[in-house]
Chains A and B, each alone.
Chain A
């Protein structure tokens, strides 16, 4: 039997913006011409030396890149204590939480804002869940003197107050969205609705590797700076590539940025950690791949949490940034290809990892990143001592201290 050999996992998407059957451009006609315009502008920007130079300059001097690679020595020792003899991999953190604005989001935001300027757009809109993408967008808009409107679920406005205040300080308008469960999905609906009504002058700065093509590809490409840096850093530190990469996935932009440069390195295992909420077998989680099915929402075909009638279910996670019923289409494809393993971490596991990281490493991680860490806590003790595991520490946890205090029964 003839078999087509796959020689790369990095060739996607195809000309229609598809990764296998996932992705695409499922938007109303009103938006379609604009989506095509964004695609043309992005294709041009990819080979525009001035554009790339300006973006790199901002990453170096405004964001503070490269972000460090940190050997988490105390955490490694801690995990070895409970591991069988000879087990307990060396744990590294890729420290995206040290970026300006406190998360990886700024990498893709700066790229997109430069693109919006190139396209002659004069207003920026964004959706946000935890507020990290909203803060990053508001920051870039302040820097470039662009009016910025951020759509945020009313529930998230309530649980991410520090970030709401930050966005306002940066001069952005924050619009609370009350439809649905008033979280990230609803914020994205509202941002798309607003965009349809303001196509002429407005650029929609999407925060993750989802939405209609070219967004999943464009955001991934900008975030690949994470994985590209890591490759150099780990080779310098260890002389070889890591055995495993771990990252939390909501929409999955930090994970795509970490994974993509390593997709063709067969020896590098990859784990995307979905929010398992109160448990994968409860009704309350945000595990689109583990418990969802393929469908179409927000402009792309991907795994979604949905009922038997194709209605979208509400997601649940302690982490506002993971509280989304879908995932980027490239993740859906990588799941079906078997290249990346998608697992879950519950609210409680994330809370424990959050506290452990704070005490052992002096790093308060974002609740999103704590989901990734929770899986590292399971995985590292099963790997040999000379194994190397890298966690994408995608964001810092300052914004989460109120949520965590509430769950620990502490009143601030």
Chain B
């Protein structure tokens, strides 16, 4: 865990990538999708396959900002027993072997409220979580979790959207730490993609207000799109496309097949190669 004042794993990772002249690949998959063992195996394979930052989705019954693919992933995860405390246990299992790759939990507020905000921040940090993205907690409502997150060295990563206007942007950015998650489309996950032109206009707009690294998410599917986003900003988040690869590898009953882990990691490798300019 990061102590307050210490450089976080997230800051370190972005800084070292910047020094080496490339952007980061951030991957998103849901914990327990499609089952705990497969989920842990994928998680353990991600750094080797080229994920620079790992986002772990926390399953929720009502994922308001997510498209059909991630809605279904949440249903698979819940069916296989996903809970917030089990997601933290998954992170601990991962951390037992891997210390360098930052882990960000992404999800919705209610499971955290139910767990208890104070206890959650303590347990998340001690489990090896580095940052939180809580989709339905905008800066206006963040005062109930921000002090606890800070006290435990957890970065609170804010979403910035195309609708976040210039009047609002400084306030949103002032409250963020770790990196800025730029939601590149007005829409839900996995539905459409931003154009190069809109990204080329939006990222400098955000940069004028912050020195933090910016990762672009929502709508990045292909290695080429990931490479482009990682070059325009400081990182590219790929979620739905990986969740789709995972889903396509399952059998008719939604169970993992022997090549599920390999197929997901192969897809990550292809993205990583492109982001690293090896494609």
Contacts and interface: CB of A to CB of B under 8 A. Distances in A.
B65 A28 contact: yes
A81 B137 CA distance: 55
Contact of A196 (B85, B108, B137, B186): B186
Interface stretch (B2-10, B30-38, B164-172, B266-274): B164-172
B132 interface: no
A25 B138 contact: yes
A304 B138 CA distance: 21
A30 B186 contact: yes
Interface in B200-226: none
A200 interface: yes
Interface in A169-208: 179-180, 185, 189, 192-193, 196-200
From B110, B113, B159, residue with most partner A Cβ within 10 Å? B110
Interface stretch (B12-20, B39-47, B56-64, B94-102): B56-64
Given A24-B141, A196-B65, A197-B187, A29 B110 contact: no
Contacts, number: 121
A196 B188 contact: yes
Interface string B65-76: 111100100000
Contact of B113 (A34, A180, A295): A295
Contact of A29 (B67, B68, B159): B159
B109 A296 contact: yes
A6 interface: no
Interface in A293-313: 293-299, 304, 306, 308-312
Contacts of A26: 109, 136-138, 141
B11 interface: no
Contacts of B136: 26-28, 296, 299
Given A180-B61, A193-B188, A33 B165 contact: yes
A310 B84 contact: yes
A298 B78 CA distance: 20
B121 interface: no
Contacts of A308: 114
Interface in A245-281: none
B198 interface: no
Contact of A34 (B66, B163, B183): B163
Q: Is the interface of B mostly helix, strand, loop or mixed?
A: loop
Contacts of A298: 62, 64
Contacts of B71: 179
Contacts of A310: 60, 84, 110-115
A296 B113 contact: yes
B138 A295 contact: no
Contacts of B168: 32-33
Interface residues of B, number: 46
A410 to B, nearest CB: 36
A30 B109 contact: no
Contacts of A24: 140-141
B126 interface: no
Contacts of B140: 16, 24-25, 32
A86 to B, nearest CB: 49
A251 to B, nearest CB: 15
B146 to A, nearest CB: 15
B247 interface: no
Nearest to B167: A33
Given A25-B140, A25-B141, A296-B136, A192 B64 contact: yes
A312 B74 CA distance: 13
Contacts of A294: 113
Given A28-B136, A180-B62, A193-B64, A306 B160 contact: no
B161 interface: yes
B83 A309 contact: yes
Given A199-B186, A309-B83, A310-B84, A28 B64 contact: yes
A120 to B, nearest CB: 16
Interface string A20-47: 0000111111111110000000000000
B58 to A, nearest CB: 10
Contacts of A198: 186
A274 B109 CA distance: 26
Interface in B134-159: 135-138, 140-141, 158-159
Ranked nearest first, the 9 interchain pairs of A and B with the lowest CB-CB distance are A310-B114, A197-B187, A310-B111, A30-B161, A29-B159, A310-B110, A309-B83, A312-B61, A26-B136
5 contacts: A29-B183, A180-B62, A193-B65, A310-B110, A310-B113
Given A26-B138, A28-B65, 5 more contacts: A29-B163, A30-B163, A30-B187, A179-B71, A294-B113
